[in-house]
Chains A and B, each alone.
Chain A
Amino acid sequence: MKTLVIYLMAEPETPELARAAVDGGADVIELGFPYSDPLADGPVIRRAGERALARGMRTKQCLDVLARTRELVGDGPPLIPMTYASLYEAYGWDRLTGDIHAHGGTSMIVADLPAGEQPHLKRVQMVAPTSTDERIELAGAQTDGWLYLVAVTGTTGARDGVSPVLPGLVERARRLAPQTRLYAGFGISTPEHARGAAQLADGIAVGSRAVQVAEEGPERLREYVATLRAALDSST
């Protein structure tokens, strides 16, 4: 069974959206805590972050959204805040990690904290097509649960097809981090992409397109996630 990870930006409506995504077949929810200068993100998630910040979503409000999301989705689905180092630096690295867990978070992703930095902070590590073998090995050893394969050399956002560099990255990660589940993200937006990526990896993550569809409400998001779920289930 392939794992489906859905990314949503933390806003007041997000708990209901996360619930709809889980109803549609999402296994894991990534919850974006907005940051003013998100270097890893393309225009869709950057704009969603700008909007969330304009609506007053700061770290405390994001933690509250995390707690309400946990209430709505129950104990099962992992909830993983994804943000940037500046929020941790301001709040306190260990304090924010502790509060994320206290508010129902399962692990975390820090998009600008590469493997090797702050190794005591257990988190989902990312590897990219440009990563050396040594860095994939390091990320595999330090990661929390699964390894996030950045499927493209670039920022988040939909692409036209499945990345041509994903097969090579999956092959290297299988060899260098053999005990770790591999989920591919960045650039995956359609059921066809999802099926193609899931034939290689153990799961997929969808961000920008999910954030766009979420603007149309929970029901549309549930339907969209269900199409991804069906594509993943047909890939095995």
Chain B
Amino acid sequence: MPDFGGYGGRYVPETLIPALDELDRAWSEAREDPQFVAELHHLATTYVGRPSPLTLIERFAPDKQIYLKREDLNHTGAHKINNAVGQALLAQRLGKRRIVAETGAGQHGVATATVCARFGFECIVYMGIEDMRRQKPNVERMGLLGAEVRGVDFGTKTLKEATSEAIRDWITNVETTHYLIGSCVGPAPYPDLVGELQSVIGREAREQFLAAADALPEAVVACVGGGSNAIGLFRGFVDDVGVRLVGVEAAGAASLGTGRVGVLHGARSSILADDDGQVADAHSISAGLDYPGVGPEHAFLRDAGRAEYRTATDADALQAFADLARTEGIIPALEPAHALARARDLDAELILVGLSGRGDKDLAEVLAHL
């Protein structure tokens, strides 16, 4: 298991340790198994729709050359499906046919419900009732796909509590159940496992960018909630020392920008918390970024000085959302709209932005604010 500079670890009740060991073993074997790799590639190309295209946008920020990595064009409309497909194959290997997941914006819930339908797994998705209100179409999608959505009605009623409840379900049903976590967070080996399953974004994007621009980007920009689309994109460029890696957090959920070292959902990372280690509420118009923690690999990249992290406000994101729709004919999700907002005022010209998802799910929320 990689060491993220003292971040990460396994801060979970003893009950889960054997299951994490089992998952770690299965993943170590699977990634070296040509049959697993071939199955994953087959599903990525024939089911997910990979490779996703790279699009040069010319009107959104006319003084720059911005390329979008179009994860919005994947099946189910976001990068989340890359991870869900990979973990479903792992669950099959582990012989576990009941899947639990958490979801914030609903994109991971939909991706999980989708792969569970495809593999014939039972699927339970925990979702805060505040997010169920904000992302109603995704709740309906999950139902159509045969998943049971369990509303979480305490605490923040958002992704933080949904994640806690999914972990409690896993503790209770660990012998039959795989926890299909949606971001590069949680106890080891999840942060590395999810990062690796999402790294296809960065590998493809690097090759496509070189072909299209005949150079590497000056900067790679992605939004960061838990941080899996950013890690997936960054991993393609982390060894290219001349390429700046820029993560963009929601201003009210800047776990890396204003957080402190703490423990949340099984990992030591940078989190929003008070002086006593009590986790604070995050606030963002984007349900997918409305989370007080972040993957430990981001905390490591920040401390190492390899990646820089900035913030965008709700208003910044709404403006970028509206502008991209009007100037390019692409309706982004609110999450990557944060990355777009910072990309256009970045002191760089040749930029790659991770467009992690499409905005259909956000229409009601956005129309209420515009």
Contact = CB atoms under 8 A, between A and B. Distances in A.
Interface size bracket, A side:
35 or more
A2 interface: no
Contact-size category for B: 35 or more
B160 A91 contact: no
B13 A114 contact: yes
Given A128-B13, A131-B17, A154 B171 contact: yes
B7 to A, nearest CB: 11
Interface stretch (B219-227, B228-236, B263-271): B263-271
Given A86-B262, A113-B11, A36 B279 contact: yes
Given A40-B171, A90-B262, A117-B9, 11 more contacts: A42-B168, A84-B263, A85-B268, A86-B263, A91-B276, A112-B266, A117-B10, A135-B14, A150-B15, A153-B171, A155-B172
Interface string A155-167: 1000000000000
Interface in A126-158: 126-132, 135, 139, 150, 153-155
B278 interface: yes
B189 to A, nearest CB: 15
Interface of B: 9-19, 21, 154-155, 160, 164, 167-168, 171-175, 260-266, 268, 273-279
Given A37-B279, A53-B278, A90-B275, A131 B14 contact: yes
A54 B54 CA distance: 49
Contacts of B174: 130, 153
A89 B268 contact: yes
A90 B18 contact: no
A114 B14 contact: yes
| Majority-rule SS of A interface residues | loop
A86 B14 contact: no
A187 to B, nearest CB: 11
Most buried by A among B12, B167, B175, B274: B12
Contact of B18 (A40, A125, A131, A155): A131
A40 B13 contact: yes
A90 B11 CA distance: 14
A125 B275 CA distance: 27
B277 A35 contact: yes
Interface of A: 35-37, 39-40, 42, 46-47, 50, 53, 58-60, 84-91, 111-115, 117, 125-132, 135, 139, 150, 153-155
Given A111-B13, A112-B266, A87 B18 contact: no
A132 B14 CA distance: 10
Contacts of A139: 14
B160 A37 contact: yes
A155 B265 CA distance: 15
A59 B172 contact: no
Nearest to B167: A39
20 contacts: A37-B160, A37-B264, A37-B265, A39-B164, A46-B154, A50-B154, A53-B278, A60-B276, A86-B262, A86-B278, A88-B277, A89-B263, A112-B13, A114-B10, A114-B17, A130-B19, A135-B18, A150-B13, A154-B172, A155-B171
A85 B187 CA distance: 13
